[in-house]
Amino acid sequence: MENMVNIKINGMPLSVPSGSTVLEAARMAGIDIPTLCYLKGINEIGACRMCVVEVKGARSLVASCVYPVNEGMEVQTNTPKIQKSRKMTLEMLLSVHNKDCLACKRSGNCEFQTLCNEMGIEDSNRFEGAMPDASTDESTLHLVRDNSKCILCRRCVAACEAQHVAVIGPNNRGFDTHIASPFERSLNEVPCVSCGQCIVVCPTGALTERDQCDEVMAAINDPEKFVVVQTAPAIRATLGECFGMPVGSNVKGKMVAALRRLGFDKVFDTDLGADLTIVEEANELLERVKNGGPLPLITSCSPGWIKFCEYYYPELLPNVSSCKSPQQMTGAVIKTWYAQQNHIDPKNIVVVSIMPCTAKKFEVKRDDEEAAGVPDVDIALTTRELARLINMAHINFARLPDEEFDPALGISTGAAAIFGATGGVMEAALRTAAEKLEGRSLDSVDYKEVRGTQSLKEAVYHVGGMDIKVAAVSGLNNADELLKKVKNGEGGYHFIEIMCCPGGCVNGGGQPIQPASVRSFTDLIGDRSKALYEEDKNLPLRKSHENPIIKMLYKEYFETPGSHKAHEVLHTSYTPRKRY
């Protein structure tokens, strides 16, 4: 039994675990104290003063997000003094804020705007005066920073530090304080990995993905172009959130219907590319085990992780699987095999991918990702951009029927479905590798030891007369810890899965933005992941190598996994990058 303390909140007696903050205690009493800078476990700095409350006996208002409860404490959360203070905080922030809200991407989904509404701000120009010099950074392929909308909450800084990347921070002081990179370099001149975790924690419109909706609409409306779309495994589990559906709704059918109504010529499933990745990667693992390495083999699906490795662990690049990511494999198959089959010049095909990821915008422009002599994928959109396209077309998403992917590249297995959750690629690969090693079909497909959001998941599986030691991590902080061990020759791993974003793609930097209250107080990653494991459980095929399209592709085109043709089309290469 936890130690409990007795406190009073707004006169109501309450027993709460000792060690709770006043903010957490108030939530137990049904009072959601407003916050701006607070992000549980990531940014607990008590800086923004939105969450102030009165504590009996305290000299002044206290920041409830960092103030611990103690026995007999009496708290007030809604006095005129508190309301006045919170309003003043908002009015001061407004005095240096770019209030072009009607034209802001985050309008309607902005925590600052919501608070101004909730607190009844009547004059957004109550304090007028000098404005700070606010810079914008449009140097990268994945992100736009507009500091005129920044409220200096430092949530992005904390998210970047949590990823062990730490390329942004508060520079200068006082009125000149602004979030930027060292020596005011633009983001493309520092070792940013493009993960976009800063965007999904930003409460305002200061950080947004580089919007490519217009490019997609232009392609769709170009009669010369054959425009194909593919959607990553994690999109179906999150897109519904953009249309008011509960977290964890699987909207695969409606998503396909919406894409068809947007005018794409074909709607394909990146899950097929995921199945293909597994067959190639499992083969690579077996080859390396047979030929003595280099081991551990490390997965290559996550472009943020790849960029991290290139910057921070270039000596481990030989360990990274040469397999292209599912996005790139799907694009490559479309522009080679599918183009040949359908007598379409790959130059006239535009492949658009819908990704949970901002680093995918970087990945499509990487070298050695051009199987048909043209980029495998032309435009990578985030989940949020797809929602924007659907809204612009005024498609009533909730009322759409459920439709199926186009069959040519639209059948996939449960193994591919779980790619979007941390440990999923590992589990999918094991389902295929174990059968190859055993040389027979296995009944068991569940490798539950690698599921979940623990910092490090390890397991040893006895297959084909040998022990295979595996590890799965997500979040680059966890990857960093594991890679230090690997670099020192420790661990004895055969196979490692690394996902850049904490929890994997379901929590990617391109996913729908949920406010801090949801990120701090619900299991966002777990709820989204559940939708994918459900899909896996209910699919007739759960092993990648049993996918009939995959079988056909090898029979007609690639011959065998790891063949010369497969290497030409489905594999890529990496280069060390200089940090500064």
Partner 1 sequence: MQKRISNLPFKGTPEQKQKLDEIIERHREQKGAILPVLQEAQEVYGYLPVEVQGMIAEGLGVSLEEVYGVATFYSQFSLTPKGRYNISICLGTACYVKGAAAVLDKISSVLGIQPEECTPDGKFSLTACRCVGACGLAPVLTVNGDVYGRMTPDEVEQILAKYE
**Site residues, partner 1 (CB under 8 A):** 133, 161, 166-173, 176, 181-184, 190, 580
Residue type, 569: V
> Which residues lie across from 266 on neighbouring strands?
228
Which residues touch 554 (CB under 8 Å, ≥6 apart)? Answer: 279, 560, 561
C-alpha triplet 479, 481, 484: angle, nearest 5°: 105
Residue 529 Cβ, how far from partner 1 at the closest point, in Å?
30
Which of residues 59 and 173 has its CB atom nearest to partner 1 in the complex? 173
From 156, 163, 204, 199, select the one nearest 180 (Cα to Cα): 156
**Residue 379 or 482: which CB sits closer to partner 1?**
482
Backbone angles phi, psi at 510, to 5 degrees: -105, 5
Q: Closest approach of Cβ 196 to partner 1, in Å?
A: 18
Shortest distance, position 160 Cβ to partner 1, whole Å: 8
Q: Least distance to partner 1 from the beta carbon of 157, Å?
A: 8
φ, ψ dihedrals at 202, nearest 5° = -70, 125
> Residue 534 is encoded by which pair of tokens?
């459900």
User: How far, in whole angstroms, is CA 188 from its chain's centroid?
Assistant: 20
Q: Of the two residues 148 and 517, which places its CB atom closer to partner 1 in the complex?
A: 148
β-pair partners for 461: 468
- State which residue, 45 or 220, has the beta carbon closest to partner 1: 45
Work out how close the CB of 161 gets to partner 1 at its nearest, in angstroms, rounded to a whole number: 8
Q: Tell me the C-alpha distance between 413 and 428, whole Å.
A: 10
Residues sharing a CB contact under 8 Å with residue 579, sequence separation 6 or more, in sequence order: 190, 191, 311, 312
CB of 118 to partner 1, least distance (A): 32
Nearest residue (CB) to partner 1, 157 versus 380 = 157
Q: Which is nearer to partner 1, 168 or 339 (CB)?
A: 168
Calpha distance 182→277 (Å, rounded): 38
Q: List Cα–Cα distances, 209 to 193, 197, 377, in angstroms.
A: 14, 11, 18
Rounded Cα distance between 209 and 144, Å, is 6
Min separation Cβ 481 and partner 1, Å:
14
Q: Write down the least CB distance from residue 124 to partner 1, Å.
A: 27
Q: Would you call 47 helix, strand, or coil by DSSP?
A: coil
At residue 137, φ and ψ (nearest 5 deg) are -125, 110
* Shortest distance (Å) from residue 179 CB to partner 1: 10
Name the DSSP class of 557.
I
Q: Which is nearer to partner 1, 101 or 479 (CB)?
A: 479
Distance CA 476, CA 304 (A): 9
Pick 190 or 234: Cβ nearer partner 1: 190
Q: Which is nearer to partner 1, 178 or 469 (CB)?
A: 178
